[in-house]
Structure 1
Amino acid sequence: MVAEPFTVDLNKPLVFQVGHLGEAYDKWVHQPILGKEGPRFFANDFCEFLTLTKWWVIPMVWLPVICFVVSVSFRRGLTPPQLAMAVAGGILLWTLLEYSLHRFLFHMKTTTYWANTLHYLLHGCHHKHPMDALRLVFPPPATAILSVPVWTLFRLLSPPSVAPALFGGVLLGYVMYDLTHYYLHHGKPSKGYTHDLKRHHMNHHYRIQSQGFGITSNLWDRVFGTFPSTNVAQKDR
């Protein structure tokens, strides 16, 4: 007797359901629900609270940290031009990290229960509910955990005076990313660079998920050949 395929109940907490979709998960998660109301993730209220973040929390939490770590490099002897170069280098590194995470981690194909569950928490929920305003930016506790290996790598590979400013640049790039991402979904740019970014990002969501991985910049999409084709981009003009 053939078992019935698993069906997600959208009226119940989703996180521990989606793993049961198995191989059907990838197709399900890329069929977006466009309502502005987000789903419930967990039955536990505290766990649920940790998944909800307003956009303004990101600069409020991380800009003071950025100022602090950059000031450490200044106290360790970097001149203002050197600080600016280190921070700019960190921002450039962030754009590559942003692209790489989005392309190779957030869009990896999963089929097992726990892989599906983790993918949904990291990025799948955003593709399923792209207008969920409280889950468009990354919760600060999760960002803090993920930043530890980045800081450790910089501390090991760069001089003590440079590492804090470089790390501050990466954090600043991250803040720019999260705020830009929120604006691309909820803002209404009418022309210019942000309009082009929004068009490319909406193409990524609703037309072709295998292209357009850059959010704050399309530099690495152009370098690695994943920039949306002219024919796809023209559809949203």
Structure 2
Amino acid sequence: MDHASSARDLSASPRLFDNPLLDMLSRVDPRVPVIVYGPIVVTMLIWALWHGAGVATVVASFVAGYFIWTLVEYLGHRFLFHLEFPGSFGARLHFLMHGVHHDYPSDPLRLVMPVLMSGPIMALALLVTWAAFPQAMQVPVLAGFIAGYIVYDRVHFLLHHSRSQNPTFLRLKRLHMLHHFTDKTRCYGVAAPWWDNVFRTQWRKPSSQQ
């Protein structure tokens, strides 16, 4: 089954809400982040260059924005998505935020964020970027941040559904599957595994296996 057909297979995507509209909104085609945010990133880079930002400034700012995203990706996955909220409402909230992905890791329509979730993240990133960076860097930094999100969502989908034998891809896939099926307190960096090394949450064999 190819990626497009698997993404349309509702039998592989369990119902989360009784309300049909809410349930529909909880699903998203994995191509949506590229379609929605890809043109925005390109437009922002062209805008920055057109308005006088030097190529070196744009490139450096874009790379900085990308690495900022990777840190947000790691911290969000580790401290927000895996946060256990108290009570039955908290348990339901955790399930909807991330628990469903661990219970149904190959659900093809819940491997990338709906725009209703990613949009506020990008809006907050805009506010922080405008407050933290000089004017010449603001637009390309935000473009790099959004590009990092696109890469993250695309990589995450492929880790669950691609059969690529590329060595780098297979390493990322192994680490992500270890997070899912062996130890969910390790390997939080989906597309950015270096942060696990920085924060010492990289994969370690249980002592009984050493």
* Both proteins in one fold, TM over 0.5: yes
Query: Cα deviation per residue 1:188-228 (whole Å; 9 max; x = unaligned)?
Result: 23241110000000000000000000011211000110010
Matched, 1:168 2:125: no
Is structure 2 residue 154 aligned with structure 1 residue 155?
no
1:199 counterpart (142, 155, 174): 174
Q: Any residues of structure 2 matched to 1:50-69 within 5 Å, and which?
A: 50-69=25-44
Q: After TM superposition, what 4+ stretches of structure 1 lie above 6 angstroms from structure 2?
A: none
CA separation in 2, counterparts of 1:49 and 1:65? 25
Deviation, 1:145, is: 1.6
Match of 1:16 in 2: none
Q: Is 2:114 aligned against 1:132? A: no
Q: Partners of 1:168 and 1:204 in 2: how far apart?
A: 29
Q: Counterparts of 1:134 and 1:104 in 2: how far apart (Å)?
A: 24
Query: Aligned pair 1:119/2:94, yes or no?
Result: yes
Report the CA distance between 1:150 and its aligned residue: 1.2
Per the alignment, residue 177 of structure 1 pairs with 152
Q: Distance in 2 between matches of 1:45 and 1:126?
A: 20
Higher helix share: 2
Which is further off, 77-86 or 67-76?
A: 67-76
Q: In angstroms, what is the RMSD of aligned CA positions?
A: 1.5
- What is the aligned partner in structure 2 of residue 25 from structure 1? none
Quick one: which amino acid aligns to residue 178 of structure 1?
D
So what's the TM-score if we normalise by structure 2? 0.89
Per-residue deviation, residues 5-33 of structure 1 (Å, max 9, x unmatched)? xxxxxxxxxxxxxxxxxxxxxxxxxxxxx
Q: For each residue in 1:101-120, what CA deviation from the matched residue of structure 2 results, as whole angstroms up to 9, or x when unmatched? A: 00011111223233222222
Task: Select which of 154, 164, 181 maps to 1:189.
Answer: 164
Give unpaired runs (5+ residues) of structure 1.
1-35
Partner of 1:72: 47
C-alpha distance in structure 1 between counterparts of 2:96 and 2:50, whole Å: 39
Distance in 2 separating the partners of 1:126 and 1:145: 21
Residues 47-105 of structure 1 show CA distances to partners (whole Å, capped at 9, x for unaligned) of: 11111111111101110111122233223321112111111111111111100000011
Partner of residue 143 from structure 1, selected from 115, 118, 124: 118
Take 1:147 and 1:121, find their aligned partners in 2: how far apart are those partners?
Answer: 20
Distance 1:109 1:41 in 2: 19
Contact 2:85-2:93 within 8 A present in 1 as well: no
Match of 1:48 in 2: 23
* Structure 1 position 218 matched with structure 2 position 189: no
Q: Mean alpha-carbon deviation: is it higher for 103-112 or for 195-204?
A: 103-112
Which segment drifts farther, 127-136 or 160-169? 160-169
Q: Measure, in 1, the Cα distance between the counterparts of 2:49 and 2:87.
A: 48
1:119-150 Cα offsets, whole Å, 9 max, x none, are: 22211110111010000001112211222111
Q: Which amino acid aligns with 1:147?
A: M
TM-score normalized by the length of structure 1: 0.79
C-alpha distance in structure 2 between counterparts of 1:134 and 1:144, whole Å: 18
From the CA coordinates, give the structure whose radius of gyration is larger: 1
